[in-house]
């Protein structure tokens, strides 16, 4: 169920109530699709059964990939919970596994860590996370599902990797929905060292950048076009644009602006698609910023901007805003996109101009 709340704007999937709300809004689980993208990278390397949980918790997607399985845990309900995640991990650890591969978000990573602690192997077992949740700040996840699979393929084939302790972060979802970012480090798990395939921990913004944010906002407002619908993404950088416009902002959601006025706030994917069907909004632009330290533009906390939305808007109508310090925090790593649509991700790759100050753009690569 990880990530099920993303496209419908629930900003998380923790708890049965949220899962049921998401299902009621028409959301569909996406973790299996993203797990399959990872499995496809190493399915031909696996020559023995893989230990897993029954049904949607593992067996179904492994079978779809053509990988033999041995089921060691079965959940009591199709709507699984954090307890199922932890019980499944403990059952897997009882089989003395060499590597734990899991798909989810920060809530899943936290559940996995809790289970490893219960089993006493949190400092011994190596893990790789397949990004499939709404909140993915933890450094135990690969950059994309495909890269998670590539890393596992390398391990199976005998490629040598160092191992390091990586942070397991999680947000208070209730505070998150109220527009407050309260992140805590809950501990560490061991991951392979691969600077290209494993993501860094999210970094927060620096207070001294407030003047730069004002400059970015001033340039953006000066260049806003009449009769254009702007879909303003989440984050503190884009929040500065909304503040300068003098309109209410959903810090961790998507807002729609037309001719300087707030048209809709905290919109879900279907809300956006409905706006795109309105002939009033013949031209639409998406405004996003990168996550500090990680560099993700799409696929982390803004799943409302889905592949369907991005394709309707057009890749040429995406405006990226970020301070130069935020770009420096990437230490040369490219900006990332993980929309869930590999063809769209490929279309987004390339050198892009990033609005980084007043009348100032920085050329940076999406890769």
Over residues 67-84, the pLDDT tens digits come to 999 999 999 988 888 999
For 35, 99, 149, 180, the CA distances from 155, given in Å and listed in that order, are 17, 9, 10, 39
8 vs 85, residue with greater confidence: 85
Q: Are 43 and 172 in contact (CB under 8 A)?
A: no
For 39, 40, 67, 191, 347, the CA distances from 298, given in Å and listed in that order, are 22, 22, 30, 24, 13
Instruction: Please say if the pLDDT value at position 201 is more than 80.
Output: no
User: What is the average pLDDT across 20-27?
Assistant: 60
User: What is the average pLDDT across 204-211?
Assistant: 58
| pLDDT band at residue 24 using 50, 70 and 90 as cut-offs | low
The confidence score (pLDDT) of residue 207 equals: 42
| pLDDT band at residue 180 using 50, 70 and 90 as cut-offs | low
Is the CATH number of domain 16-192 3.40.50? yes
Instruction: Please say if the pLDDT value at position 335 is more than 90.
Output: yes
| pLDDT band at residue 206 using 50, 70 and 90 as cut-offs | very low
Average model confidence (pLDDT) for the chain? 86
| CATH 3.40.50, the chain: domain bounds | 16-192
Q: What does the pLDDT look like over 87-134, one tens digit per residue?
A: 999 999 999 998 999 999 888 999 999 999 999 998 889 999 999 887
| pLDDT band at residue 203 using 50, 70 and 90 as cut-offs | low
Nearest Cα to Cα of residue 311 among 330, 284, 291: 284
Instruction: Please say if the pLDDT value at position 57 is more than 90.
Output: yes
CB atoms closer than 10 angstroms to residue 309: 24
88 vs 340, residue with greater confidence: 88
| pLDDT band at residue 10 using 50, 70 and 90 as cut-offs | very low
Q: What does the pLDDT look like over 312-331, one tens digit per residue?
A: 999 999 999 999 888 888 88
Instruction: Please say if the pLDDT value at position 254 is more than 50.
Output: yes
174 vs 28, residue with greater confidence: 28
User: What is the average pLDDT across 244-260?
Assistant: 91
The confidence score (pLDDT) of residue 321 equals: 95
18 vs 197, residue with greater confidence: 197
């Amino acid at each position: 169920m990880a990530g099920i709340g993303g496209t419908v704007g629930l900003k998380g999937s923790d708890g049965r109530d949220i899962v049921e709300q998401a299902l009621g809004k028409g959301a569909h689980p996406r973790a299996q699709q993203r797990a399959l993208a990872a499995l496809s990278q190493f399915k031909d390397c696996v020559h023995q059964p893989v230990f897993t949980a029954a049904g949607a918790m593992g067996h179904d997607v492994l079978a779809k990939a053509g990988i033999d399985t041995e089921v060691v845990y079965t959940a009591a309900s199709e709507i699984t919970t954090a307890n199922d995640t932890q019980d499944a991990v403990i059952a897997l650890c009882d089989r003395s596994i060499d590597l734990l591969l899991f798909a989810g978000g920060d809530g899943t990573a936290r559940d996995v860590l809790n289970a490893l602690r219960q089993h006493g192997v949190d400092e011994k077992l190596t893990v790789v996370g397949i990004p499939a949740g709404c909140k993915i700040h933890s450094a135990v996840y690969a950059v994309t599902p495909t890269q998670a699979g590539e890393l596992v393929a390398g391990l199976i084939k005998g490629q040598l990797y160092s191992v390091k302790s990586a942070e397991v972060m999680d947000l208070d979802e209730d505070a998150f929905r109220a527009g407050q970012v309260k992140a805590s480090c809950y501990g560490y798990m061991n991951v392979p060292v691969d600077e290209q395939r494993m993501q860094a921990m999210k970094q927060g913004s620096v207070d001294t950048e407030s003047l730069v944010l004002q400059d970015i906002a001033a340039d953006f407002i000066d260049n806003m076009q009449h009769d254009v619908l702007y879909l303003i993404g989440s984050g503190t950088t884009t929040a500065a644009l909304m503040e300068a416009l003098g309109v209410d902002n959903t810090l961790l959601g998507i807002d729609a602006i037309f001719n300087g006025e707030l048209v809709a706030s905290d919109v879900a994917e279907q809300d956006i698609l409905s706006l795109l069907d309105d002939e009033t909004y013949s031209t639409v632009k998406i405004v996003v910023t990168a996550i500090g330290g990680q560099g993700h533009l799409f696929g982390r906390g803004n799943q409302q901007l889905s592949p369907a939305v991005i394709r309707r808007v057009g890749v040429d109508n995406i405006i990226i805003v970020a301070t130069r310090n935020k770009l420096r925090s990437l230490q040369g790593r490219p900006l990332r996109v993980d929309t869930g649509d590999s063809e769209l991700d490929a279309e987004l790759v390339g050198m892009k101009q990033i609005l980084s100050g007043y009348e100032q753009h920085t050329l940076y690569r999406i890769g």
